Structure 1
Amino acid sequence: MNFELKKPGFSKNRVSGPNAPCPMPHAQCPMPNSRFAPILALMLWSGPVAVAIEPEPILVAQDNSQTAPLLQQEGSLSPGDRTLDDGKLYDSYSFQGRAGQTVTISVESDEFDTYLTLLDADGEKIAENDDSAGNNNSAIVATLPEDGSYEVIVNSYNANGRGKYALEVRPATEADIRRAAADRLYQEAKQLRGQRTPESLRGARDKLEEALLIYRELGDIAGEALTIYSIGTVYFDFKDKQEALSYYNQALPLYRQAGDVSREATALNNVGWVYSFFGEKQEALSYYNRALPLYRQAGDISGEAITLNNIGKAYSDLGEKQEALSYYNRALPLSRQAGDISGEALTLNGIGLLHSNLGNKQKALSYYNRALSLYRQAGDISGEADTLNNIGAVYSFLGEKQEALSYYNQALLLSRQAGDISGEAVTLNSVGLLYSDLGEKQEALSYLNQALPLTRQAGYISGEATTLNDIGLVYSDLGDKQKALSYYNQSLLLSRQAGDISGEAITLSNIGNVYRDLGDQQQALSYLNQALPLAREAGNKEKEATVLHNLGKVHYFLGDRERALSYLSQALLFDRQTGYKAGEAATLNSIGEVEFVLGDKQQALSHYNEALPLSRQAGDKGREAIILNNIGEIEYSLGDPQEALSYLNQSLPLRRQTGDKGGEAKTLGNIAKVKRARGQLEEALNNIEAAIKIIENLRTKIASQELRTSYFAQNQDAYEFYIDLLIELHRQNPDRGYDGRALHASERARARSLLELLEEAGADIRTGVAPELREKERRLQQRINATASRQSELLSGEGDRAEAVNKELANLLRELEEVRGEIRLSSPGYAALTQPQPLQLEEIQKQILDEQTLLLQYSLGEERSYLWAVSKTGIATYELPGREEVEKAARNFRDYLTIPSLRIRGKRAAQIAGALSETILGPVASQLGDGQYDRLLIVSDGALNYIPFAALTIPKAAREAASVPKPLIVDYEIVNLPSASTLEILRRDLRDRLSSAPKTVAILADPVFDAEDDRVAGNAEADVAIEPIEPKEPEQRKPELAIRGVLERAARAAGIEWRRLPGTREEAKAIMALVPPGQRQEMLDFDASQEMAKNPELSQYRILHFATHGFANSENPELSGIVMSLVDENGSPQNGYLRLHDIYNLEFGAELVVLSACQTGLGKEIRGEGLVGLTRGFMYAGAPRVVVSLWSVEDRATAELMAIFYQKMLEENLAPAAALRAAQIEIWQQKEWQNPYYWAAFGLQGEWR
């Protein structure tokens, strides 16, 4: 490399090296006593490099013979002394010095914080200092430039400082010079820290570490303590809590050793502030309370005032408002006494914020304005910005949005000017919320997204939590509930981390609102019940009112109108006390909604009309749109469609302006109802189709399948109206295809989540997903299994423990659903999926049906229901009674099948079956009686999902008048489908398989449920040989009712243990006898385990057969499942529950899964989705057809039925649906088992071919 020497000062961007002794042997040094400054640098480019050489300022210690002081003076600052331009008192002194002489100038005082300035003869400043080793004393070490007179000025650092001091000027010693170097490094670090950039903070830390070495070399304990403390402060700026605390705690004993009580107190105070900043308020209080007596001991009233203020803020954050006010009021006079204007302003600002949270907005403004004046007087622009922001928040709360925006804009400029990024973030967040209130959601997001990175940069955890919460709120208003939940959950974690109970309360409340809007009221209630005590503890009346209001809304949706009104009345009281107009408008509107449902329409209208001007006054356009919509609904119900349309047409543009997509859909739906009532059917059709398009678009934005389903269920009324309107149009125009469109609408309204799950099953959505997410899902599933097992054990035990486990289980299930939502959102495979579209009439006829198959699809409505009979070439639509009448008849029929005391009343049971048959099959009797069809595809709705169509009798009009009623199964195969569109996806997936499974059947049967079972090692042998049921001719088969009694395959009551099912062993043996050895696998006893059920080797079998207990959980379908061996060979417990969430993770090659267990066809009936249970789990795992049961089945009858079923399939080569029909007919033909209870429980779902 070539080096060029440049003059000193050539470049300001240079690398410098330390001033060190020559490292070579003395003889090899170029000059005696030379000093070296070595630099090691990586060259980033080739070519000439400039090296600038300039001397460090050299302070030369004086000859020891000249150590006499040049000046010694005791004095005092007192009223009457001269004043500087800023009003501070000062004294000045002169001394004579020589060129090149290095002097130490020091001033000490126990009564005020000193400040020193050295001037030359012309009054030019040579040096100044306000802090020697961080205490009240000051010191300057300087080399005098020339002979002559010099002036020393002594003044106070604070505005009104006064008292005695001692001044000395003397020749500098070597120690003075080293200390001066350390002091210079300290001051340079202080300046760098003030720049607040990562680079400047690292530079500050490095300089402080250099200074620390010098202070330690000199044995300067006070300097060492101050520097260590300052390094801690730099780490606090880095938001490194542990490092900051480590350095602060190192400084504390040094301050004690140095006897610096005031600095010790400051260190304690700052440790408290670190804990407070990171949310540990109680720990913070313990340090504040240790600092307080030390400040008093030191007579440091300014420090005492600051600590009292900090204690007040901690209590305010903890919700103890009166305690906080007490400390603020003690701090205030001390700040004034100390002349600490900024400290006084800080306390006034804190008192204002406290009153604002308590709802005393005018009182808050009074304190804020006093604080503002003082901050301006002190020149504290950061404090001024904070106060302007707080004033803006009050005006925004009071509905004066433009006035608020004016204050926010002033605050924003000052925060940026001060470099206060946390203050800037707070104001940006406030502006974002204001725009959200004004309905300008995208503008709101713009400001909030500017605030978020600033809160993170500042390490401002509670501020970050607030901004995340507010972004979630905007997305919720925009209808993107999944995204809202994601932001809320991030916010919740941070609020808890920061100890911000007020923020935690409002975020919990907002999460509750999302679940409420998506139709999951119980989950909403859980979150709101967590939020309410926190809001009360925080003492924030505004937030308490919000939570009370939201609780009222949830109870309204749950149907508890009285409790809803109670909560809403409490909320209204707080809204009015705090002057929260937007809240008052919202609560009055909600009260009106409850009154409307209760039938008090005039009172509801009165409350709406009271709320409307308040919402406008508050500038809350979103609420205004809601109220206008509700007034329109009431006017329509009161018989004034013209007035209704007027209000609805005012609401619609506001819905669109505010981005409220869900609200827009609701208002469009209401407009459609009004236009239909006015006879404008085509216009009504356009409106309701626009509404449904929005509903379906919003639905796709929800990643959680559970929440998608509940959201869709909540919007089923729109589809019901849509279908009803299309049928009305069909009656007026029978040749225009409205009936086919109505069928398509019915398809769009049902089992959409199942369609998506089946579509998803064909894509590996977990590939490309973060491993930690997949691991989190796995751990949650394990915890759910363990907790569900504990729940089973406690069903008949202690109520409190059982309740706690139930709550834990509900939380785990919610977490699992959230994690699966995250997996979908982050999955490349899921992102590539297209939404499966429900089939239209022509597609159903072409792709689903053949000439022998008739589709019967039901849609139950509040006033009227519909049945479509669809063949390969035609469609017929029939009107049925309303939902309540049909479902009552269906439940009655099921009761007579399953309740023993009713089942034995054969004649009455037959009448019940006949009545239901006439209701739901009678209209289509003409198509059932001509023998044209061999198969019925049943797409049920509501309670019809719980009944076996096979057991219904053929309607009178479809049979000869004198004939005895016979079950539908006698003439037809019965196949059940969640929707017609489901079958197309099942068939497509089956077609896409590269090959079919090579082997025939695998059976898991007769598991071991408890350690007392005879099969467990060491138990007494009492095994009874069980002969397999050999397939027999029909006339030879007789039920063996006396053998082992009647065992049912479900636990009928809480706390009953699972009992062994010997019939399942017979069942397995009978099936195995039909299959060659190499084509079968039999897993009995301990082999019938969960582990074996999950074994990938089962994918080699075309048929999987589970013969055991089953259980359906109607509240949490994820917990439904089948029971495998619960103990191992030694009787040790093991997880034997194969639950729905386990089944979703399996991959079967099976073409048929048979669940020869009880209630496996049941689940949670969700409007718009049907039964959510085990069937969809096995379909997701790859089975195109599943045989399941609708009730707890009789053990021996089931074994007999299954033996015949498999004989028909495997020996006579019948398709599964035909084989099941043949088996059920044979059982029905036997007198002892003729009752449908014994044979009708099982049905086939899915592909019949």
Structure 2
Amino acid sequence: MLVMLEFIHKLTPSFLVTLFLPLMALGNKFPFGLVQAQTIDFQNQTITGCGNPGNSNFDSNEVLKLCIEAINIELEFGSLWKNQKFEEARFKLKQALTIWQQLGNKKKEGHILNLLAASYFGFNQIEQALPLYQQALEIYQQVDDPEEKMKALRGLGSLSEGDRHYQQALDYYQEALAISHQVDDKCSEAVSLSSIGGVYLKIAHPYNKEQIPNIDNLTSGRSLNEIRRQALDYYYQALPLAHISSCHLLSILNSIGVVYQHLGQEQEALKFYQQALTESRRRETNDSQASILANIAVLKSKQGNLQEAFTDIQSAIDIVENYRTYLISPDFRTTYFSSQQNIYETYIDILMQLHQKDPTKGYDAQAFYASERSRARSLIELLAEANVDIRQGVDPQLLEQERNLQEELDGIEKRRIELSRGYYSQAQADQLEQTRQTVWSKYKNLQDEIRLKSPNYGALQYPQPLTLTQVQQQLLDKDTILLQYSLGEERSYLWAVTKDSITNYQLPPHEQILSKISARKSASC
């Protein structure tokens, strides 16, 4: 028993909460009072861990009750997120955040802020993620929690990196790296070193060298290859740490391959790509495999091995397409396919190179088809859902729930308009907005459920996109032309499709196109 109690003493407050009540019941049956005494001590530890002991707003029982409620809400968040009910999951996090704030628990408040920020950042919702990471970091400047502080720093670093504020990103990553040294966290050290390497690799991109003001302050007049070698040095520092901690290893191996490829050392690049691919297959991480296979395909295509490159990129595409049927949420599907665009760009580029070598094989038609497949919402999906009642055959109870939620949303909007016409307090406005968010998240989740269970929707659930021939036969008449394009890092393509022909055009890289568009917009202002 003493051994068990010693073990329990080492548990976190969250676990202590779940153990507290059963132990109290057990203690009441013990004549010696040992368990009861120890349990009272655990209760005090738990209350201290859950909230601010000096918070006079709640007695110990209220603190314990709120703590259990917050922990249960966090568990609900995990389940909802796994089931792609993202809005409802975020709402749960906000509920937990409110409780931890009431309890004065700054550590848990910062933890939830980090989770919320990551949930928005994962969907590229930068404006929502940024202030949350900033709030979390502000908390951890005052409260000691190295792990959560590093998460906030790396999150802010990633946001800065995405905005091409590279010096700011480096500052955040370097601070996270220093903390990882202090606490001897090998995994965090590997991640921070890898992140710094990634920033230098982006700085070495020719487009950034030309387009970003004051980038010379970061490069100090060095050549692109010298900067790439600096990136490589950080990746090599991260590599043994990744092996030790089994953390971030695939990404680091893959990134080293990318640097060697940019340096023109193709055999070294291929060696690291193969290591990453072997490790990815061993771990059965399909998403990583797709990215690695795409990099191998790019390398082989530059070597002129187009057929081998085609085999590799086709395998990568198969992995990506396999995910399509699992993506219930339209928002998640949009985010996922946006993150995979480079793989489709490589696929299209290889097909168009094959077309140039042999225009009789129909590779251009395959490239057109691949361009359609790359979109989160294919043309046929949009047309089908616009013309098919996906609610036909759905459980009437679901449809009744949908009608009720629609009416509730309408009522909330009417109430909001009424309030806007007269005097109302901020508390009223906040309460109404909280109610609206709750109902809206339920409505979106119900729509996803209807999509999933509808027989009609099942019949067209993520159907195969239209081929070139189908587009020509089913969508185009003699007076209509369809223009479809694909932007790529080295080359972009445009297809002009009529009822009986397809014409292909090679365009400049997407960065050049975006630069010209930006210049044109500036000139017209």
Deviation at 1:606, TM superposition (A): 1.7
Is structure 2 residue 320 aligned with structure 1 residue 695? yes
Q: Which residue of 867, 879, 893 corresponds with 2:506?
A: 879
Match of 1:763 in 2: 389
Work out the CA distance in 2 between the residues paired with 1:530 and 1:568: 17
What does 1:706-745 correspond to in 2, within 5 Å?
706-745=331-370
SS in 2 for 1:568: helix
Match of 1:619 in 2: 246
Answer yes or no: is the 8 Å Cα contact 2:23–2:39 preserved in 1: no
Answer yes or no: is the 8 Å Cα contact 2:485–2:492 preserved in 1: yes
Q: Which residue of 297, 303, 308 corresponds with 1:678?
A: 303
Match of 2:481 in 1: 854
Aligned-partner residue type, residue 516 of structure 1: F
Answer yes or no: is the 8 Å Cα contact 1:747–1:839 preserved in 2: yes
Match of 1:561 in 2: 166
Aligned-partner residue type, residue 133 of structure 2: L
Deviation at 1:626, TM superposition (A): 1.3
Aligned-partner residue type, residue 118 of structure 2: N
Deviation at 1:705, TM superposition (A): 2.3
Work out the CA distance in 2 between the residues paired with 1:741 and 1:722: 10
Work out the CA distance in 1 between the residues paired with 2:149 and 2:476: 58
Aligned-partner residue type, residue 499 of structure 2: K
Match of 1:632 in 2: 257
Work out the CA distance in 1 between the residues paired with 2:335 and 2:146: 32
Work out the CA distance in 1 between the residues paired with 2:463 and 2:367: 19
Work out the CA distance in 1 between the residues paired with 2:419 and 2:228: 49
Gaps of 5+ in 1: 1-235, 245-265, 268-299, 325-458, 794-800, 900-1249
Is structure 2 residue 255 aligned with structure 1 residue 522? no
Answer yes or no: is the 8 Å Cα contact 1:634–1:644 preserved in 2: yes
Work out the CA distance in 2 between the residues paired with 1:642 and 1:613: 21
Is structure 2 residue 57 aligned with structure 1 residue 316? no
Aligned-residue RMSD, C-alpha: 4.6
TM-score, with length taken from structure 2: 0.70
Answer yes or no: is the 8 Å Cα contact 1:472–1:486 preserved in 2: yes
Aligned-partner residue type, residue 298 of structure 2: K
Work out the CA distance in 2 between the residues paired with 1:527 and 1:815: 23
Work out the CA distance in 2 between the residues paired with 1:537 and 1:238: 35
Answer yes or no: is the 8 Å Cα contact 2:87–2:441 preserved in 1: no
Q: Which residue of 372, 382, 391 corresponds with 1:747?
A: 372
SS in 1 for 2:477: coil
Match of 1:868 in 2: 495
1:895–1:863 CA distance, 2 compared to 1 (3 A):
same
Match of 1:542 in 2: 147
Deviation at 1:740, TM superposition (A): 0.9
Deviation at 1:506, TM superposition (A): 3.6
What does 1:820-859 correspond to in 2, within 5 Å?
820-825=444-449, 827=451, 828-829=453-454, 830=457, 833-859=460-486
Q: Which has the higher contact order (CA 8 A, sep 6+)?
A: 2
1:775–1:668 CA distance, 2 compared to 1 (3 A):
farther
Answer yes or no: is the 8 Å Cα contact 2:97–2:113 preserved in 1: no
Aligned-partner residue type, residue 389 of structure 2: A
SS in 1 for 2:481: strand
Q: Which residue of 99, 114, 132 corresponds with 1:509?
A: 114
Match of 2:203 in 1: 598
Work out the CA distance in 2 between the residues paired with 1:484 and 1:585: 30
Work out the CA distance in 2 between the residues paired with 1:562 and 1:773: 49
Answer yes or no: is the 8 Å Cα contact 2:485–2:494 preserved in 1: yes
Work out the CA distance in 1 between the residues paired with 2:311 and 2:181: 42
Match of 2:64 in 1: none
Answer yes or no: is the 8 Å Cα contact 2:260–2:269 preserved in 1: yes
Deviation at 1:781, TM superposition (A): 6.3
Gaps of 5+ in 2: 1-20, 56-66, 205-226
1:662–1:779 CA distance, 2 compared to 1 (3 A):
farther
1:668–1:527 CA distance, 2 compared to 1 (3 A):
farther
Answer yes or no: is the 8 Å Cα contact 1:699–1:711 preserved in 2: no
Deviation at 1:609, TM superposition (A): 1.4
Answer yes or no: is the 8 Å Cα contact 1:466–1:503 preserved in 2: no
What does 1:753-1152 correspond to in 2, within 5 Å?
755-761=380-386, 762-765=388-391, 767-768=394-395, 769=398, 771=400, 775-776=404-405, 779-780=408-409, 816=440, 819-825=443-449, 827=451, 828-829=453-454, 830=457, 833-886=460-513
Work out the CA distance in 2 between the residues paired with 1:581 and 1:810: 41
Deviation at 1:863, TM superposition (A): 3.7
1:584–1:810 CA distance, 2 compared to 1 (3 A):
farther
TM-score, with length taken from structure 1: 0.32
Answer yes or no: is the 8 Å Cα contact 2:118–2:155 preserved in 1: yes
1:728–1:574 CA distance, 2 compared to 1 (3 A):
same
Aligned-partner residue type, residue 857 of structure 1: Q
Aligned-partner residue type, residue 680 of structure 1: N
What does 1:128-139 correspond to in 2, within 5 Å?
none
SS in 1 for 2:182: helix
Deviation at 1:728, TM superposition (A): 0.9
SS in 2 for 1:857: strand
Match of 1:704 in 2: 329
Work out the CA distance in 2 between the residues paired with 1:890 and 1:883: 10
Answer yes or no: is the 8 Å Cα contact 1:555–1:563 preserved in 2: yes
1:820-854 C-alpha deviation (Å, 9 max, x unpaired): 14531355215554213221111122222233443
Between Structure 1 and Structure 2, how many residues are aligned? 451
Match of 1:669 in 2: 294
Answer yes or no: is the 8 Å Cα contact 2:380–2:466 preserved in 1: no
1:333-374 C-alpha deviation (Å, 9 max, x unpaired): xxxxxxxxxxxxxxxxxxxxxxxxxxxxxxxxxxxxxxxxxx
Deviation at 1:484, TM superposition (A): 7.7
Work out the CA distance in 1 between the residues paired with 2:239 and 2:434: 39
Aligned-partner residue type, residue 723 of structure 1: I
1:25-52 C-alpha deviation (Å, 9 max, x unpaired): xxxxxxxxxxxxxxxxxxxxxxxxxxxx
SS in 2 for 1:752: coil
